[in-house]
Copies of this chain bind each other. A is one copy, B any other.
């Protein structure tokens, strides 16, 4: 908080624009088996030219060796300490944001799994045979019909992928101090919801009664006949970026999770498409409305998760082709980086530092010929925590007062 307090104290309005282009999971690996990273393999003439007059460096999302989820990865890019408990985005909230739910600060959500129990009520499959998404939607509809008259209609389930759903509790007086009901074991029944602190007692009781209604409604389902709940949580009470930094902030992301995180931080979410070209169309149309533009490209991460270096490379080349259009908008500061690395050889998020390019009139020109993990490792910006990026963007945009006389 002291870090944010210092930035907030120094932040001043200015007539400058900042663009943060996040290529999700950008960082990749060079190994004997994969000698070139996606950034190295991609043909990127426009990025190459930009690199010559930009500063390069690397960011560490959470801490050395720590692999971030998407929530912490983005919170850090926005200046928050992702390891601070008060900034934690719970699993239920993250799942809800990913489904595009618009949560009130008082709402409580949990991540749900459908599960299969035998006649004695003991679990035999904690994922209900990974039922198809269509089946999940059908079962959720049965549950919501049964919950329609329950507790003033404040309880609802929202279907996700396969056996996953979100339990959504609305209204006043709720608490997230409720323990998981998933016993994480077979041959035993689900656990009854219990409070983890005294102020969770009423909500835990509400959840127990709701689960009874839900499970009665699906008792005849051959697979999805029980519910397991985890990660009861509410939106963290984050200091809002517009007040912190004296910026008008717009989020341009094609996927709900990133819109949700941006919204929770105080950005205005602007509906847009999923590919960089569609995103830039929307950014251009709203250019005069914001000082700070968060652009999120998801496909780099998806390709990394698939272990598909060729597709990850192609996505970077697609971004490079659109880069002149982004540059033509004339931002004062442009940063290109990722929320974390998703190396293709790992098919997963990783802890590796993330390459960063920062272009601005007062950026020290590294003179690099390319923007890659290797050139970034020796760039002028060095390697630093992701949460310091926000201060660097503001500084390059002339939006921070001098500290002390």
Listed in ascending order, the chain A residues whose CB lies under 8 Å from chain B are 2-3, 6-7, 10, 29-32, 35, 53, 58, 62-72, 82-83, 88-89, 91, 94-95, 231, 343, 345-346, 348-353, 361-365, 367, 373-374, 377-380, 382-384, 388, 390-396, 400-405
Contacts and interface: CB of A to CB of B under 8 A. Distances in A.
B66 A403 contact: yes
Contacts of A88: 404
A364 B30 contact: yes
Contacts of A91: 405
Given A82-B404, A405-B91, A6 B377 contact: no
A384 B31 contact: no
A200 to B, nearest CB: 21
Interface-central residue, A66, A67, A352, by most chain B CB under 10 Å: A66
A206 to B, nearest CB: 24
A352 B231 CA distance: 42
A72 B402 CA distance: 10
Contacts of A395: 65-67, 350-351
B362 A392 contact: no
A31 B362 contact: yes
Given A65-B392, A69-B405, A382 B383 contact: yes
Contacts of A405: 69-71, 89, 91, 94-95, 231
